[in-house]
Structure 1
Amino acid sequence: MARDNAGQLIRHKALLYPATGAGDTESRRANADAYILTAGDMAKFGELYGGDVDDWRVWPLKAESLAGLPATTVVVGGTTPSTMTA
């Protein structure tokens, strides 16, 4: 919004394990019963977060363009079955 409305200059942003899109995706289907976050967990977090699933300000993957946005560090994580223990 700052970019589009000539707001305060943001120099850098850090996204820690961001949810960048909503809905039925291949990743969400493949990880529906994941070790830490299930499909049900993600659905509940989406409800708590709120917002229109088509609004790019809520879900950045819906943006027409990300050009002109500040530099961004994205921290992601993952796991594989061989690293999981009960």
Structure 2
Amino acid sequence: VPVVDEAGSALDISAGSPTASAEKVGGVGGQLVNASASLGDSYTIHAAFAADALSVGRWRVQTWLELGGEPQMLDQFEIRVQEANG
């Protein structure tokens, strides 16, 4: 996801600090799980959740990048975690 300023000009995000988290959708309480995040090639954000951190169900994942002290949400999407076969 390209990061731009208010005028639509691309920003250099190489010095940014990425973060990622997932929030359980539905159920009681808003379970929030943080991931370790890093910038990858082509400025993609790689997020890694701890083993068994996400229980079975739907999760809303958000990726953020802090630039110049201001956090910007880059993307939000949902994933579904299912039980393993076998």
- Give TM class, smaller chain: under 0.3
TM-score by length of 1: 0.24
Q: Which protein, 1 or 2, shows the higher relative CO under an 8 Å CA cutoff with sep ≥ 6?
A: 1
| Larger Rg belongs to | 1
Greater strand fraction, Structure 1 or Structure 2: 2
Greater helix fraction, Structure 1 or Structure 2: 1
TM-score by length of 2: 0.24
